[in-house]
Amino acid sequence: MIAYGENIKVFCGNSNRAFAETVCRELGLELGDGTVQTFSDGEVSVSLNETVRGADVFLIQSTCKPVNDHLMELLVMIDACRRASAGRITAVIPYFGYARQDRKAKSRDPISAKLVANMLTAAGANRILTMDLHAAQIQGFFDIPVDHLLGNPTFVKYYLDKFPEDKFDHDQFVVVSPDVGSVARARAFAQKVHMGLAIVDKRRQKANVCEVMNVIGDVRGKTCILYDDMIDTAGSLCNAAQALVDVGGAKEVYACATHGVLSGPAFERIEKSPIKEAVVHNTIPLPENCPCKKIKQLDVAPIFARAISHVHGGTSIADLF
């Protein structure tokens, strides 16, 4: 149980209730009594069945599929708390949707990540708590404080336990960035697990379709760990894994990513790929009967619980990392 002060309330929407319940267990709190429903015409209805006046309120909601429904639930919850005179409202968004739309890639493109940031602020959020944004610069889209948690410490512990240095030669392991844009996060992870670094260079022709071009780095005969912030359709990840084996001559391939979006043909692709195991966090819930046995989920609810405790107590969350 984590120490906390008085007058703290935690509510959740419908995106990942099990995650919110785990956070509350870690905090030693009961999940707030609230109901988030949908009218027959699709409108969101929120009812808070306990007082929040003057309280430090934390609203847990991942904006995962269906993204727009879950985002609207969060906005309405924030508004309900604001109009009920909550003392402070923190939107806890384990997975921040629209994060990939963070710039104008071509003429007349929207910057939807900035729009969502504006909407959350306008609704009445006083603070954002999230994990592994697709681009760290998105923190600057908000005019309110953003606490950006990191998922890699969980992966570091997992792989150091799985491949301890006293039993495995880490010179025979390589952390691989599946594209040039993810090199910085892959490098930080590689340094913590004391492994080398390689990059898969690819050229994307259109959305969700990519062509692997080259493997930069020595992976021949080595165990590779692909590291990214999210797995969506798994096209990039599986193509990178295939390139590591076919082009680079890798011995075996593992994969990990903070957010398991896993849309479209993702499960089928991972199951058929050379990837031995794909590890994700529970920022997004997996289907009850996951069709891919290669996928494993790690729990980051304790990290969010500790972060909530620090935010509520007014202490630094940098200590968590």
Determine the distance from the C-alpha atom of residue 135 to the mean position of all C-alpha atoms in its chain, rounded to a whole number: 12
Check: CB of residue 98 under 8 Å from CB of residue 23.
no
Q: Do 277 and 224 touch, CB atoms closer than 8 A?
A: no
Map residue 97 onto helix, strand or coil. coil
Contact 297, 282 (CB under 8 A): yes
Residue with token string 């267990």: 25
CB 242 within 8 A of CB 218: no
Tell me, yes or no, if 162 is annotated catalytic.
Answer: no
Q: ω before 110 within 30° of 0 (cis)?
A: no
Task: Write the DSSP string, 66-95.
Answer: SHHHHHHHHHHHHHHHHHTTBSEEEEEESS
Pick from 40, 117, 35, 21: nearest CA to 76: 35
What is the per-residue burial (b if ≥16 Cβ within 10 Å, else e) of 93-118? bbbbbbbbbbeeeeeeeebebbebbe
Q: Which of 9, 104, 202, 222 is catalytic?
A: 202
- Dist. CA 251–CA 25, nearest whole Å: 41
Which residues have a catalytic role annotated?
Answer: 202
